[in-house]
Amino acid sequence: MTVHPSSAAPAGRGSAPLLAGLFVATAVLVAYGFWSLGGLPELASRHGVSIDATITYLFVTTGILFLLGHGVLTLFVLRYAGSAERAAPERGSPHASSKLEWRWALVPVLVMCVIAEGGVLIVGMPAFAQLYGEAPPDSFVVEVVGKQFEWLVHYPGPDGVFGRSEAKLVNDARNPIGLDKKDPAAKDDIYTRGQMHLPVGRGALIRLRALDVLHSFTVPQFRVKQDLIPGFLGRTQFEPTRTGQYELACAELCGLGHYRMRGFITVESQEEVDQWLSEQEPAF
Amino acid sequence: MDGVTLPRPPSARAAETLLVAFLATVTMLFAGFTSAYLIRRTGSDWARLELSPLVYVNTLVLLGASVTLELARTRGSALWPRAAALLGCLFLIGQVLVWRTLSADGQLVWHRPQGAFFFLLSLVHGLHLAGGLIALVWLLTRHARLHLVVIYWHFLALAWIYVLALLRFQ
Amino acid sequence: MVERAGTGVLTAERAGPTARVEEHHAPRSFLGRYVFSTDHKVIGLQYLLTAMLMALVGGALAVMIRYQLAWPEKTVVTPETYLALVTMHGTIMVFFVVSLALVSGFGNFLIPLHIGARDMAYPFLNMLSFWTVVPGCLLMLAAFFVEGGAAAAGWTAYPPLSALKEAVPGSGLGQTLWLLAMALFIASFTMGGLNYITTILNCRAKGMTLMRMPLTVWMFFVSAVLGVLAFPPLTAAALMLLGDRHLGTSFFLPGGLVFGEEVLAHEGGTPLLFQHLFWFLGHPEVYVIVLPAIGIAFDVIATHARRPPFGYRISVYATLLIAFLSMIVWGHHMYVSGMNPLVGEYFSIATVSITAPFSVLGINLIGSLWRGQIRFTTPMYFALGIISVIGTGGLGGLYLGTSTTDVYFHDSYFVVGHFHLMIGVVTLMGTFAGCYQWFPKMFGRLMNERLGKLHFWLTFVPMMAVFVLMHYQGLSGMLRRYYDHSLFEFQTAGRALNKPITYFALLAVGGQLVFLVNFFWSARRGVRASENPWEGASMEWNTASPAPHGNFGPEDPVARRGPYEYAPQDSHQEYLPQWTA
Amino acid sequence: MKLVLGTLTLCAFFGSALSPTSPTTSFGPAPASGALVTASPGEVGSVKGKALFQGEAPRRRKVDMGSDPACHALHAEDARDESVIVGEKGELANVFVWVSKGLEGKEFALPTTPAELDQKGCTYVPHVLGMRVGQKLVIKNADPVTHNVHSFAKKNKAFNQSQQGGGKSLEQVFDKEEVLMQVKCDIHGWMSTYVGVVAHPYFAVTKADGAFEIPGLAPGEYTLSAKHEVFGTQKTAITVKVDGVVETAFTFAEE
């Protein structure tokens, strides 16, 4: 079989600057966008510092790799654009240079081991330990019960003990978290619909429970996100560091009102929290 | 070219490859069920499954079919595959009987997880065996690809012993 | 390259003297030729056209989603419909568009041509696989018209939401149809995958050793192995979910679920179990569809840069490593779903390690241009675009694979932007590159280059804009699967980008019309193509355009060298085709 | 009370009252107009009574609308839980009273006006609604916020739809009897209403004074039931005589 002269292949060098321009523009715009548009909400928790540090670390490292990659791509597109003048490409069997190929394969492996694994282990670990390690012994304990489409916030009341609750006692209007009236510890319990008050500068330990489907406890400013799984008692912990009101959102698809599942977290001084708690109506 | 061409029929090795790949799929299916089983077993409502002795009779029948097929492969008589098909049918009937005894015991009801798993696993296994049975019957007249069917049946016999062991030793 | 033939697996199967040689005539009837054809090329095209039809639906859903997000105050759809849109868009696009077009469509079309086979190993199985997925498509679409609407529990179908009709309207009949359609899809895809594996291992032409296969074939092979191994656990999960929905079993449903004033009778199940089984498939599925796109990019770049791909063997090994790793990292989708943090750390380390072989592929893609003589054809445009998109999307994956940062990014728009870049834009661009590249083998004509390049600009620019902007939304904390973001103050910053994204999305969807026009116009009116219009060296160019029934002439093709002998060192030819002596 | 115009026309034809032992079991379909008129005295009797609560009335908790400030803003002072409303002398409101036995096989014309359920101030109005099998239920939303209307019907087909603030009304029809089917809004968890769907027109809901009246009941023996969402169901046998008024009372207590 003979080799036919190409009828479709030759294409003008003019494409090279166009595509090079496109890749430069992509690199510059994407990087600039990350720099300027992608601001995280203002941080308001202690462990969040490490999370933000990890994000910044990845910003810088992946940013360099991204720009480098696009730079080389652009250079190659310009440098090796085919032209009528250059009759043939430079010759050389690739297998003669397979050592070179292996060397180039080692580069990303090493770079990724250092940048990515290093990042995961060294920069990321502390935040993970704070999120999932032992809660500080003096933590302020609150329970959050997720249901379609509300956050029910449950406080143990003055006795500091959460009352027993049971699914069959749940009544939407009268007993939304199913507290057992017969349990003495439940009498003084307090529950609210989506109102959580937390003391500033003290660890908060949030017990997580769901009544119907999956939900996810999310406060972007605290950099926390943890799923609520029906049938399991989960938990998350963080330490609010700034006073103010924050929105509690649901991050796991839970049904048609998912986008409306809103709660409020007020971070204030311990005295104000105590004052607020004392104003609440007890469960029974 | 006018479209008259000479495609090669798939070689015996192609059929072997297909079978091995298919067995890998089936293995992964049982692996999926196994991991589900191991996790679900830790549930609060789990109770031990009391298997009826008929299960072991069935197992022997299935192993018998495997042995018969092995004979069919090495001896080459037309009788052995027929016997294996018969034993395969007996196994399936036996499995249905097991379901009946278990549901009479109240063990094979949907809200009992151990019963649900037994039913699901034996059903999936039984469906694959029914497929093997069809292949066997189809090949009764031809001797060409018998060894593939034999491999498949051996695999299913092993799979059943695995399922049984999984359900039995908890 | 010269491969030492004659040992072990690397030797291609040869038709021995005992093999029966039958005369097969090309079918003459319309039904036999175009409908119930067993010809891999026809089946490939059937898949491609089916995927195009499904893409029209998936694209329309995307437009509706974007419209709602940009103008929530107009409330064109209700929240429950919105969830159905999101769910169906995801399912249709991942399984019924990208998987069908790229893996099933191009896999079928290219594998036998590439390896010098006359058809797939099992043509009837191949036809059966296509006609299994067609009712699957119909069932999936039918779900829009049943009571309660289509499935609305997300494409991940997490129970309890997907298991209980009380939980969301779409979890009625719509979800059942969804599960059945997925079962048909899985059955079809498994048949196809088994056929690919068998064909690649057994039907290669004489001399076509494994290391003489084009990278595209390698990628299809790895993708088929992954698919065949990863889908069964999802099948198991789907069976169990059906049990929970209709038979009263409790595999995934724990005790004490309350809806209204009723406590459901389920007891003891674990919702997390489903997530594990789902992602055991779900993550490899990403590679099932991304790898073939990368393979196509390698082939297209080699053809049009007139150079062998940089590090062919290394790419093969890297791909095998990626495939292996992809099966042990599924947990990175579940960092915040309550898994043991130590397990989370393991998944994080394993996940991030994928970046090493993956970036080797990236380096090799760029390296393939090195010292080349680039011809800027339309397929080359798309292949170069793929490099840029993989770079962008792939690096974004690090933010999600690292468990620490995923706590913040999980279920935010960052995730949406990331996976759309990787399994949306990369795969679509791979499909397009393939279309432009191998159109001559489909219809004997070339696609229009002007329209093709216009299509490239209308694909790359708006799609990158859409999904990169979504990364910024994710950084600002905006959450996904929200019908309306205006209720939350923290989403104000991200919401501002909703309108621009929608404008770009409309442009991107509209740009695809250019492709459709080009495709159908060129199929009948395009410039006639010679046998080898791109001067390609691999086996598919060793036959007429369009490729005839049986693919090659009366004599079986023989592979005498590797598929990428461009600018060979020891020859004065510009390139050496694989088949010439 | 609620006999059908068609029946009356028939009555007029025969020029006499239907005898209590009339073999007619079907009152026949209503004419197109379907207007409901009260039967003249002399043909029918009625039931009157009160629902009472025994014991210390539970405190009516403040409805916590904290999760949706838009709802909170609709109330000048705190709304109170409506599930148990007990008057000073123990009168129990929102009890659904209906004839649960004795009307089997009889058919009654449907009212042409639909039953209406409104959402106002993020509460349902009325809190307990009685309606007929086959009658249209119109659900309105007078609030500026989105609600979802989710029925937990056991015998009828359950539904779950969202409804924009001030948006289109939703319509539903139920084809089976079901007393106290819960309908609620999942977005605002406190919002719950109960709908009693019965096949005949003989039902009532107790008012704030605990009183109810079911007029126009043909003479005969019936079982009268009363159901409260919290305190459950009570039954009593009654015998209605021509022109007679049966007085009865239901007393509920905490379990």
Residue C406 structural domain: 39-247+270-576
Q: Please state the domain count of chain A.
A: 2
On the question of pLDDT at B54 being above 50, the answer is yes
CA nearest neighbour of A154 among A202, A204, A207: A207
On the question of pLDDT at D139 being above 90, the answer is yes
On the question of pLDDT at C127 being above 90, the answer is yes
Contacts of D235 (CB under 8 A, 6+ apart): D100, D223, D224, D225, D226
D86: left (phi over 0), alpha (psi -120 to 50) or beta: beta
Which of the four pLDDT bands, split at 50, 70 and 90, describes residue B143?
Answer: low
How many degrees, rounded to 5, is the angle at CA C365 between CA A55 and CA C384?
90
Kindly state whether residues A146 and A275 are assigned to the same domain: yes
CA distance C431 to C441: 15
Given a contact cutoff of 8 angstroms between Cβ atoms, the answer to whether D99 and D217 are in contact is yes
- pLDDT the model gives residue A138: 92
On the question of pLDDT at A10 being above 60, the answer is no
Q: pLDDT digits over D191-238, tens only?
A: 999 999 999 999 999 998 999 999 888 888 999 999 999 898 999 999
Mean pLDDT, range C547-560, rounded to an integer: 89
| Best A86, A212, A261 residue to mutate vs chain C (most C CBs within 10 Å) | A212
Contact C233 B1 (CB under 8 A): no
Q: Which fold has domain B14-44+52-168?
A: Four Helix Bundle (Hemerythrin (Met), subunit A) (1.20.120)
Q: What is the CATH number of the domain that holds A233?
A: 2.60.40.420
Per CB-CB distance under 8 Å, the chain C contacts of B2 are: 548
- pLDDT the model gives residue C21: 37
Q: Is residue A10 part of a domain?
A: no
Average the pLDDT over each of A91-100, B64-73, C145-154, D22-31 and give the range with the smallest value: D22-31
- pLDDT the model gives residue A204: 95
State phi, psi for D240 to the nearest 5 degrees: -100, 130
Mean pLDDT, range C220-247, rounded to an integer: 93
Average the pLDDT over each of B109-123, B143-157, D30-44 and give the range with the smallest value: D30-44
Strand partners, A267: A198, A244
State phi, psi for D232 to the nearest 5 degrees: 85, -160
- pLDDT the model gives residue C141: 94
- pLDDT the model gives residue B8: 54
How many Å from the N-terminal Cα to the C-terminal Cα in chain B? 65
Q: What is the CATH number of the domain that holds C177?
A: 1.20.210.10
Mean pLDDT, range B108-135, rounded to an integer: 88
Q: pLDDT digits over D72-98, tens only?
A: 889 888 888 888 899 888 899 999 999
CA distance A269 to A258: 31
Q: Above pLDDT 90, what percent of chain D?
A: 43
Residue C332 token pair: 């990175």
Residue D113 token pair: 């006006």
- pLDDT the model gives residue A242: 95
- pLDDT the model gives residue D167: 76
State phi, psi for D224 to the nearest 5 degrees: -105, 130
CA distance A156 to A147: 19
Q: pLDDT digits over C45-58, tens only?
A: 999 999 999 999 99
Q: What is the CATH number of the domain that holds D103?
A: 2.60.40.420
| Reported ipTM | 0.87
On the question of pLDDT at D24 being above 70, the answer is no
Contact B18 C198 (CB under 8 A): yes
C208: left (phi over 0), alpha (psi -120 to 50) or beta: beta
Which of the four pLDDT bands, split at 50, 70 and 90, describes residue A6?
Answer: very low
Q: Sketch the domain layout of chain B as residue ranges.
A: 14-44+52-168
On the question of pLDDT at C475 being above 60, the answer is yes
Mean pLDDT, range C550-555, rounded to an integer: 87
- C317 CB-contact burial (10 Å; exposed 0-12 / middle 13-18 / buried 19+): middle
Pairing state of beta strands D160-163 and D147-151? Answer: antiparallel
Given a contact cutoff of 8 angstroms between Cβ atoms, the answer to whether D110 and D135 are in contact is yes
Mean pLDDT, range B97-107, rounded to an integer: 85
- C320 CB-contact burial (10 Å; exposed 0-12 / middle 13-18 / buried 19+): middle
One-letter amino acid at B49 equals L
Residue D190 structural domain: 3-253
Strand partners, A149: none
Report chain C's mean pLDDT, rounded to a whole number: 90
Q: Is residue A182 part of a domain?
A: yes
Per CB-CB distance under 8 Å, the chain B contacts of C16 are: 11
CB atoms within 10 A of CB D59: 11
CA distance C100 to C431: 10
Q: Which of D67, D83, D188 sits opposite A174 (nearest CB)?
A: D83
| Best A253, A254, A262 residue to mutate vs chain C (most C CBs within 10 Å) | A253
CA distance A270 to A139: 12
Residue A277 token pair: 């708690």
Which of the four pLDDT bands, split at 50, 70 and 90, describes residue A7?
Answer: very low
Contact A124 C405 (CB under 8 A): yes
Q: Please state the domain count of chain C.
A: 1
State phi, psi for C419 to the nearest 5 degrees: -75, -25
Query: Three-state SS for C219?
Result: helix
Q: Which of A62, A230, A258 sits opposite C254 (nearest CB)?
A: A230
On the question of pLDDT at C402 being above 70, the answer is yes
Residues C468, C472, C478, C479: what is their CA dihedral angle, to the nearest 10 degrees?
30
Report chain A's mean pLDDT, rounded to a whole number: 87
Mean pLDDT, range C293-297, rounded to an integer: 97
C6: left (phi over 0), alpha (psi -120 to 50) or beta: left
On the question of pLDDT at D59 being above 60, the answer is yes
- Integer-rounded Cα radius of gyration of chain B: 19
Mean pLDDT, range A189-212, rounded to an integer: 94
Residue A230 token pair: 């029906």
- pLDDT the model gives residue C24: 52
Mean pLDDT, range B107-117, rounded to an integer: 82
- Any chain C CB within 8 A of the CB of D146? yes
User: How far is CA D170 from each of CA C48, C285, C578, D118, D131, rounded to the nearest angstrom?
Assistant: 43, 42, 69, 10, 16
Which of the four pLDDT bands, split at 50, 70 and 90, describes residue C128?
Answer: very high
Residue A48 structural domain: 15-83+102-132
Query: Three-state SS for D57?
Result: coil
Contact C79 A213 (CB under 8 A): no
- pLDDT the model gives residue B77: 72
CA distance A219 to A197: 14
On the question of pLDDT at D19 being above 70, the answer is no
Q: Please state the domain count of chain D.
A: 1
Kindly state whether residues A145 and A49 are assigned to the same domain: no
Tally C-beta pairs within 8 A across A and D.
66
On the question of pLDDT at C140 being above 60, the answer is yes
Q: Which of C307, C469, C490 sits opposite A220 (nearest CB)?
A: C490
Smallest CA–CA distance, residue C13 to chain A, in Å, is 24
On the question of pLDDT at A265 being above 90, the answer is yes
Given a contact cutoff of 8 angstroms between Cβ atoms, the answer to whether D8 and D38 are in contact is no
How many degrees, rounded to 5, is the angle at CA C296 between CA C295 and CA C301?
100
- pLDDT the model gives residue B69: 87
Mean pLDDT, range C173-190, rounded to an integer: 94
Q: Above pLDDT 70, what percent of chain A?
A: 90
Which of the four pLDDT bands, split at 50, 70 and 90, describes residue C430?
Answer: very high
Contacts of C103 (CB under 8 A, 6+ apart): C189, C192, C220, C223, C224, C227, C288, C289, C292
- pLDDT the model gives residue C394: 92
- pLDDT the model gives residue C98: 95
Query: Which residues from D are below 8 Å from A when comparing CB atoms?
Result: 61-68, 81-84, 146, 148, 160, 162, 184, 186-192, 230
CA distance C218 to C240: 34
- Any chain B CB within 8 A of the CB of C17? no
Between the ranges A220-234, B31-45, D54-68, where is the mean pLDDT highest?
Answer: A220-234
- pLDDT the model gives residue C4: 36
Site of tokens 């067995």: B23
On the question of pLDDT at D23 being above 60, the answer is no
Sheet of D220-228, strand order: D203-205, D96-101, D220-228, D232-240
CA nearest neighbour of B164 among B69, B77, B37, B36: B37
CA nearest neighbour of C480 among C414, C419, C408: C414
CA distance D37 to D12: 14
On the question of pLDDT at C7 being above 60, the answer is no
Per CB-CB distance under 8 Å, the chain C contacts of D162 are: 78-80
Q: Is residue A261 part of a domain?
A: yes
- pLDDT the model gives residue D128: 94
- pLDDT the model gives residue A88: 52
H-helix or E-strand containing B153?
helix B146-168
Kindly state whether residues A127 and A161 are assigned to the same domain: no
Q: Above pLDDT 90, what percent of chain A?
A: 59
- pLDDT the model gives residue B46: 84
- pLDDT the model gives residue A215: 95
Q: pLDDT digits over C478-507, tens only?
A: 999 999 999 999 999 899 999 999 999 999
Q: Counting every residue, how long is chain D?
A: 255
